[in-house]
Amino acid sequence: MKMMKRLVAATALAFAATSVQAADLSAEWAGIKAPDMPALQKVTVDPKTTVLLVMDFMKASCTEQARPRCVATVTPVKKLLADARAKGMHVVYAVTGNDPVMTNFLPELAAQAGDPIVAARADKFLGTDLDKIFKDKGIKTVIPVGTAANGAVLYTATGAAFRNYDVLLPIDGMSGNNAWSEQIVAWQLVNGPGLADRVKLTKTDMISF
DSSP code of residue 175: E
Task: Note whether residue 37 is domain-resident.
Answer: no
Same domain, 23 and 68: no
Query: Would you call the peptide bond into 148 cis, given omega within 30 degrees of 0 as the criterion?
Result: yes
Same domain, 12 and 93: no
21 vs 120: CA distance, rounded Å: 41
Q: What is this structure's pTM?
A: 0.87
Task: Note whether residue 197 is domain-resident.
Answer: yes
Task: Note whether residue 86 is domain-resident.
Answer: yes
Task: Note whether residue 36 is domain-resident.
Answer: no
**pLDDT for res 5:** 47
Task: Note whether residue 38 is domain-resident.
Answer: no
Task: Note whether residue 202 is domain-resident.
Answer: yes
* Cβ burial 184-197 (10 Å sphere, 16+ → b, else e): ebbbebbeeeebee
Same domain, 132 and 171: yes
Task: Note whether residue 87 is domain-resident.
Answer: yes
Question: Which amino acid, residue 9?
Answer: A
Strands of the chain (E only): list them. 43-44, 50-55, 90-95, 117-119, 141-147, 166-170, 174-175, 199-202, 207-208
Q: State how many domains the chain has.
A: 2
Same domain, 183 and 92: yes
Same domain, 142 and 84: yes
Its domain, for residue 6, covers 2-31
Same domain, 102 and 193: yes
CATH of the domain at 164: 3.40.50.850
Same domain, 79 and 158: yes
Question: What Å distances lie between residue 32 and 27, 29, 53, 104, 180, CA to CA?
Answer: 10, 5, 34, 40, 13
**pLDDT for res 119:** 93
Task: Note whether residue 69 is domain-resident.
Answer: yes
**pLDDT for res 101:** 65
List per-residue pLDDT tens for the chain, 209 residues long.
Answer: 554 444 445 445 544 444 445 579 999 999 999 899 999 999 999 999 999 999 999 999 999 999 999 999 999 999 999 999 999 999 999 998 766 668 899 999 999 999 999 999 999 999 999 999 999 999 999 999 999 999 999 999 999 999 999 999 999 999 999 999 999 999 999 999 999 999 999 999 999 99
The contacts of residue 164 (CB under 8 Å, 6+ apart) are 198
Question: What Å distances lie between residue 135 and 103, 165, 184, CA to CA?
Answer: 28, 10, 29
**pLDDT for res 99:** 67
**pLDDT for res 100:** 65
